[in-house]
Amino acid sequence: MALVVSLFFGLVPMFLFAAFVYWLDRYEKEPIALLGATFCWGMVIAGGGAFIINTAFGIGIFIFTGSEGAAEMGTTSIVAPVVEEIFKGFAVAIVFFIFYKEFDSILDGIIYGGMVGLGFAATENTIYIYRNGYLDGGWAGLFLLAFIRVILVGWMHAFFTAFTGIGFAVARTNKNILVKFIAPLVGLGIAISVHAFHNTFGGLIGGLGGLAAGTFVDWIGWAFMLGFIIWMINHERNIVKKQLEEEVYAGLISQAQYQKALSPWTMTTAGLSGRATARFYQACGELAHKKEQLTKHGNESRNMAIIESLRTELALLAAQAK
């Protein structure tokens, strides 16, 4: 029973957090199947692989030093941040290299990094809640660890890996070859550094004071990230506003549809008016972003053909869209 409860607290909150991250992607939503795949990568590949490697390094450090403290500190502060962020970063890299057309903005990088981080957290939280919570402290320990892992530090892995996503997104949106090469490495380096700081800072203080101080610093970082996300959502709205204006003049979409396409709430409510309406406003966002890419990067990845295909689709859907 305790394992089932641990699975519930490990998985369900992270699914809800993932739904919130998906909701934040206002104007050009990423494919659900691709987001689900990155979440599963974090949960299975990154979570399982990191657990095995972290454990192996921990045993190796203990054998070499004969100190449980050294093994714990070495694994927590050095090995785990490097191993875990690399494993999670692979998922973002796969999306970047294989599904290049879906990587349209900085916000997309945050979304994909956040998703793989939440998947990883689902596995790690389940392990901690059961092993460190229930097995060490019974039901009281289980519920205490569930509170800490979900409420106090629930967003940490999404926050860490968002920096890797930002690095790849900077590479995607920049023409400079040097920036394209360096940006993902810088993003990964920041993710590892922030992760290592989180794992070390609270432990240096120790006890409830360390937990409180670490949580305070975590939440400050998350607040800044949320503020940046809100800024990026507004930036994407400006892209839609600029790039769809000529489509109104061309008669492809109406003035009313244009105004609705600018609303940050449309992608939440469009589905209530049917599949055609939901797809229409999703295609509006895709068209705006592809036109922006054409302006900045030219016809890479067949942007012109994609734009014409989206215009054709919008023409067919316009009469049905509300």
pLDDT in tens, 108-127: 999 999 999 999 999 999 99
Question: CA 88 to CA 38: how far, in whole Å?
Answer: 9
Q: Which residues contact 287 (CB under 8 A, 6 or more apart)?
A: 243, 244, 247, 307, 310, 311, 314
Question: CA 128 to CA 51: how far, in whole Å?
Answer: 11
Considering only residues 218 and 67, tell me which one the structure prediction assigns the higher pLDDT: 218
In angstroms and rounded to an integer, the radius of gyration of the C-alpha atoms of the chain is 22
Q: How confident is the model over 153-176, as pLDDT tens digits?
A: 999 999 999 999 999 999 988 888
Evaluated on CA atoms 277, 279, 283, 286, the torsion sign reads positive
Q: Is 250 exposed, middle or buried (0-12, 13-18, 19+ CB in 10 A)?
A: exposed
Interior/surface letters 298-308, b for 16+ CB within 10 angstroms, e for the rest: eeeeebeebbe
Is residue 178 within 8 Å of residue 122, measured between CB atoms?
A: no
Sequence spans of domains, the chain: 2-205, 237-317
Count of alpha carbons within 13 angstroms of residue 155, beta-carbon side? 20
User: Residue 317, Cβ neighbours under 10 Å: how many?
Assistant: 21
Q: How confident is the model over 71-91, as pLDDT tens digits?
A: 788 888 899 999 999 999 999
pLDDT of residue 206: 63
